[in-house]
Amino acid sequence: ADWLLFRGSYNTGFRVPGFNQIFNGVTISPNPGNTLVDPTRCATGAVNPAIPGCEAITPETASGGNVNLGPETSKQASLGVVFQPAPRFSASVDFWTIAVDDTIGTLTIPQLLANISYFPDRISRDANGIIDGLDLRTANIGSRRTQGLEITLRGGVDAFGGSLSASLDGTYLLKKREKFLPSAPYGPSLIGVFTYTGDLGLKWKHNANVSWTNDLWGVSLSQIFRNGYANQKLPGIANGTVTRPGFNERVKDYVTYNFAVTAKAWDRLTLTAGVKNIFNTDPPFAITYDSNTGAGSSWEPRVADPRGRSCTLLAEVKF
């Protein structure tokens, strides 16, 4: 029907490992910390020399490529509906699901120790049975299941001698779970929770825009919204051995606004001047520093932008 449309798809895919993921050299790094314990010997999970088996361990870690890596495989499907009651008004909702197996990734020290029973070949012990080595090289480490909704709204009217329109494109995450091996169970939900690798599972994110245009001018205001999430807990905080003053359990929502004005100087020249991040909003504080690789700082690069207010100028010339 003119006002109603259904759509769907089913796809399969694969992703081969990159050159560096296969052939990067192996680096052995010391662990000078004193916050790790052997989970097979220490039931509390916290360092306590007074409890046998809960002494701190300082294993070396091996990181780098893996010549035995295979490809990731995936299956994806979507089903959606589009309503268009008038030529300039429409709304759509699409459900999507993605299943990825043999995922290429690296385990962190906490992940490996927390799932030690599934990775006996990645743990080495000395003559006394103390863990002295952890293998964190890239591997096909499990599966991932993700589902969500894509929501789109469009509308427009004639107003003020031109066309006034508004739009919203949003993603609502319904499911995100991972497991490390085919034999392992899926872990807890990763929606709204910090993860070391991949995209962060933000519950909701959207881009919204309001614009007005006529034959000579155009004005637009946009909002970028990213939902907050549970902050990363450093190893000492996670196992209760360290109390950090002022620790923010949750990273705040990230909201920025952009503004632009477009002028058609003549038939072949269009000029656009804009301001990104109008209110000079700083990224919300997030603990993203990874002591294994040294990556990250006090903001999350997968969600936020550390650059403040900036001005842009675009000239489009047609020949």
Can you read off the two tokens belonging to residue 210?
A: 């309001």
CA distances to 165, 222, 263, 283 from 209, rounded to whole Å, are: 8, 4, 18, 21
pTM recorded for the entire structure:
0.78
Averaged pLDDT for residues 296-304: 80
Q: What is the CA radius of gyration of the chain?
A: 25
Q: How many Cβ atoms sit within 10 Å of the Cβ of residue 220? A: 17
Q: Which tens digit of pLDDT belongs to each residue from 208-252?
A: 999 999 989 999 999 999 999 998 876 655 555 566 677 788 999
Measured CA to CA, the distance from residue 4 to residue 92 in angstroms comes to 10
- Spatial CA neighbour of 133 closest among 120, 144, 143: 120
What H or E segment, with its residue span, contains residue 236? Answer: helix 235-238
The confidence band for 289, taking pLDDT boundaries of 50, 70 and 90, is low
Which pLDDT value is given to residue 199? Answer: 82
Measured CA to CA, the distance from residue 65 to residue 26 in angstroms comes to 6
Which pLDDT value is given to residue 238? Answer: 56
Pairing verdict, β 89-101 and 143-159: antiparallel
Which pLDDT value is given to residue 294? Answer: 46
What is the percentage of the chain residues whose pLDDT exceeds 90? 59
Look up tokens 């038939």; give the residue.
Answer: 267
Look up tokens 């799932």; give the residue.
Answer: 115
Which pLDDT value is given to residue 247? Answer: 77
The confidence band for 292, taking pLDDT boundaries of 50, 70 and 90, is very low
What is the percentage of the chain residues whose pLDDT exceeds 70? 94
By CB atoms closer than 10 A (0-12, 13-18, 19+), residue 267 is exposed
Which pLDDT value is given to residue 235? Answer: 60
Which pLDDT value is given to residue 74? Answer: 96
Which pLDDT value is given to residue 196? Answer: 75
- Spatial CA neighbour of 29 closest among 4, 65, 60: 60
How many helices and strands in the chain, by DSSP H and E? 3, 18
The confidence band for 151, taking pLDDT boundaries of 50, 70 and 90, is very high
The confidence band for 191, taking pLDDT boundaries of 50, 70 and 90, is very high
